[in-house]
Structure 1
Amino acid sequence: MNTLYFKLAMMPMVIGMITLVSRKWGNKIGGIIGSMPWVAGPILVFFIVEQGTAFGIRAIPGILTGVVSLVGFCYCYAFLSKYLTWLPTLFISYGAFVAAALLLDSLHLSLWSIYGVAVLSIVAALRYFPLPVAGTPPLERAKTPKFDIPFRMLVATLFVLAITALAKGLGPTWSGILTPFPIITSILAIFTHYLQGSNATITILRGIMIGLVGFTTFLFLQAFFLREFSIPISFLLAFVVNGLINAVAIRVW
């Protein structure tokens, strides 16, 4: 019951914080902040607390598979946002996520292999990521939806509750694959697309992509740290590495 209360309290705060950061410091910074393990990290903790450390460690290759699928989602959404409204763009991008997940799951890659594939896919996607259309005036809706932030909070919280509740039945692999499912990313993309247009959407998704190298490494390190350290120490060490990688990535990209 304590973990349930924690899920209900934590997720609204996380999504609310990311939304406010994006509004204050811009879409790129909001995307980078949004890419950090605010959802995947706690879900991994819940796996460990509720299913055991071994389950959590076995879920990590699946989570990395989900990261590659998330790259496919971000690239697809950024590209299609130039031509389509948010709803068809969202569903086609979800299809890209599922297709990538099914393909990679069929390959049964090792932890090191899927980590390498994840990093290479992020770097390649950033190299060829869609660019905002020059000369296009920014779209500014007259009014932000009244229940914007509460709706974002609700969706993210329900997702975490669903994944952790289904974990035992799904098993570590597919529980892991669904952990990086683009919930926060979708929320950021949809509202940015609707309120500000394609150029702003591309910017925020590129920010998320920049942060994914650190995010991926954070998760990869848990496969080793959790064998040696407690959850708080494992997460703190990997979070520091995540932050350092993000600082470098911002300068590179």
Structure 2
Amino acid sequence: MTAFYLKLLITPALMLAISLAARRWGTAVGGLLSGLPITSALVMLFLSLEQGSAFALMAVPGALAGLAAIQATYLFYWWVTRHVSALPGCLAALVVYGAVAWLMSRLGVLTLSITVALLLVGLIIVFTSRQARTQAAACVPVPRWVIPMRMVTATLLLLAITASATWLGPVVSGLLAPIPVIAWPLAVFAHVQGGRGELTAIIRGNAIGAVGVVGFYLTLQHCIVQWGAVLSIAAAVVLAVVVTAMLARALARR
């Protein structure tokens, strides 16, 4: 019962903090923050506490497959919305997410998932580099109901995954862990209200953060059984933040 109340408290608080940061400092910062393994860390923490560290360990390959699918979705949406509006682009991108997630999970090769995810991250960074240099991201106003929607969606996702983990199994639970409940609505609303420049800032920031997410899951894979859930997840989050900050700083200097 304590874990249930922690989910209800921690998850919406984190979503609120990131959403307010994006509102205050712009979509570039929002993209970076939403790319960090916030939802993933919460899902993996509660999976470990409720199902055991071995279950969370088996969920890592699925999570990395899901991460590759997310980057494919962003890249596809960024490309297809050159030719179509946001709504059909969003629907088509969700189909791409489902197809890539299914394919990567069926293949079930950890190194392949990492390779594909990092390749897609590299493509996003390269394709968005020119626009990132020529247009600084602004603070895009969002409707008042958007932030509560993100908080509710993230909390419901966490509750759904952890409550059905035994039935879903570790692979599917891991696959659902990195679903971008913050970044995806942020990207779509930024696109609709601020145009492609704002969309580019979100997607680029999320891709940079994804490199840290890879480090997050690899740290869990090597440490969670030996160190336990809390310590290993805390270390993995710190590593993800450091890697993301270093990469963002290096790219900003170019």
Q: TM-score, normalised by structure 1?
A: 0.89
- Segments of 5+ residues of structure 1 without an aligned counterpart are none
Deviations for 1:170-207, whole angstroms, at most 9, x for unmatched residues?
11111111111232222211221232222201111111
C-alpha distance 72-229 of structure 1, shift in aligned 2 (>3 A): same
C-alpha distance 185-139 of structure 1, shift in aligned 2 (>3 A): closer
Looking at structure 2, the residues matched to 30 and 133 of structure 1 have their Cα atoms a distance apart, in angstroms, of 14
| 1:63-142 equivalent positions in 2, closer than 5 A | 63-109=63-109, 111-129=110-128, 132=131
C-alpha distance 4-122 of structure 1, shift in aligned 2 (>3 A): same
Q: CA deviation at 1:240?
A: 2.3
| 1:86-235 equivalent positions in 2, closer than 5 A | 86-109=86-109, 111-129=110-128, 132=131, 144-235=142-233
Q: CA deviation at 1:140?
A: 9.5
Deviations for 1:108-136, whole angstroms, at most 9, x for unmatched residues?
21x34433333233223322348649999
Letter in structure 1 aligned against 2:202 = I
Letter in structure 2 aligned against 1:81 = T
Looking at structure 1, the residues matched to 130 and 176 of structure 2 have their Cα atoms a distance apart, in angstroms, of 28
Looking at structure 2, the residues matched to 251 and 107 of structure 1 have their Cα atoms a distance apart, in angstroms, of 35
Deviations for 1:123-172, whole angstroms, at most 9, x for unmatched residues?
23322348649999x9998x742322212211221111112222211111
Deviations for 1:27-76, whole angstroms, at most 9, x for unmatched residues?
11111111111100010111111211111000001000000001011111
Looking at structure 2, the residues matched to 17 and 85 of structure 1 have their Cα atoms a distance apart, in angstroms, of 30
1:53 is the counterpart of 2:53: yes
Looking at structure 2, the residues matched to 42 and 118 of structure 1 have their Cα atoms a distance apart, in angstroms, of 21
Q: How many residues align?
A: 250
Looking at structure 2, the residues matched to 92 and 175 of structure 1 have their Cα atoms a distance apart, in angstroms, of 24
Looking at structure 2, the residues matched to 127 and 252 of structure 1 have their Cα atoms a distance apart, in angstroms, of 14
Q: Percent identity?
A: 30
C-alpha distance 27-133 of structure 1, shift in aligned 2 (>3 A): closer
Q: TM-score, normalised by structure 2?
A: 0.89
Letter in structure 1 aligned against 2:92 = I
Structure that is richer in helix per residue: 2
Looking at structure 2, the residues matched to 212 and 99 of structure 1 have their Cα atoms a distance apart, in angstroms, of 20
Letter in structure 1 aligned against 2:24 = K
Structure 1 match to 2:9: 9
Q: CA deviation at 1:239?
A: 2.1
3-state SS of 2:79 partner: helix
**1:131–1:202: 8 Å Cα contact kept in structure 2?**
no
Root-mean-square deviation (CA, aligned residues, Å) is 2.5
**1:22–1:29: 8 Å Cα contact kept in structure 2?**
yes
Structure 1 match to 2:238: 240
**1:132–1:198: 8 Å Cα contact kept in structure 2?**
no
**1:139–1:197: 8 Å Cα contact kept in structure 2?**
no
Structure 2 match to 1:18: 18
Looking at structure 2, the residues matched to 139 and 235 of structure 1 have their Cα atoms a distance apart, in angstroms, of 33
3-state SS of 2:38 partner: coil
- Segments of 5+ residues of structure 2 without an aligned counterpart are none
